[in-house]
């Protein structure tokens, strides 16, 4: 923000709106537009900064009160067809411990649509090979 606008104490709503628009149309290091989540994080950081600055007395009024973040819709998960699920489940060898474990995890993923973060937290000591 300081690189974009200069002195942070004298910024008003107009300059902050211009900064927000620049973020939405500015390309990142890879030449792509920033994702909506990245823009929201940047705007939230600026809003937190000005809330703090107003509370401490560095600025008289919080100039970010008009800034809102957009709600990012969740991306739809790809559904596996029955044939794709079968093909995936025959990959691990169920005659070995690791193969049986992997097949159980894949079964949980396919049947219950668990996120990989939830699957990563499974305690495999509860997996009984027999």
* Mean model confidence pLDDT for the chain: 80
> Between residues 15 and 41, which one has the greater pLDDT?
41
The answer on pLDDT for 1 being more than 80 is no
Taking a C-beta distance cutoff of 8 angstroms, is the pair 34, 23 a contact?
Answer: yes
pLDDT, average across residues 104-130: 76
Residues 97-106: tens digit of each pLDDT = 888 888 888 8
**Closest-CA residue to 103 (of 123, 121, 88, 118):** 88
> Between residues 99 and 15, which one has the greater pLDDT?
99
pLDDT band at 83 (very low <50, low <70, confident <90, very high): very high
Residues 24-57: tens digit of each pLDDT = 888 878 888 888 888 888 888 888 888 888 888 8
Q: For helices 13-25 and 36-56, give the axis angle rounded to 10 degrees.
A: 160
């Amino acid at each position: 923000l300081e690189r974009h606008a200069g002195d942070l104490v004298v910024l008003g709503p107009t300059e902050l709106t211009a900064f927000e628009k620049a973020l939405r149309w500015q390309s990142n290091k890879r030449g792509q537009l920033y994702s909506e989540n990245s823009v929201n994080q940047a705007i939230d950081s600026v809003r937190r900064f000005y809330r703090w600055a107003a509370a401490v007395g560095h600025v008289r009024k919080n100039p970010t009160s008009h800034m809102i973040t957009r709600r990012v819709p969740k991306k739809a998960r790809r559904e596996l067809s029955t044939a794709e699920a079968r093909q995936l489940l025959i990959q691990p060898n169920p005659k070995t411990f690791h193969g049986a474990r992997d097949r159980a995890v894949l079964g949980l993923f396919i049947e219950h649509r668990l996120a990989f973060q939830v699957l990563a937290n499974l305690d495999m000591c509860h997996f009984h090979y027999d």
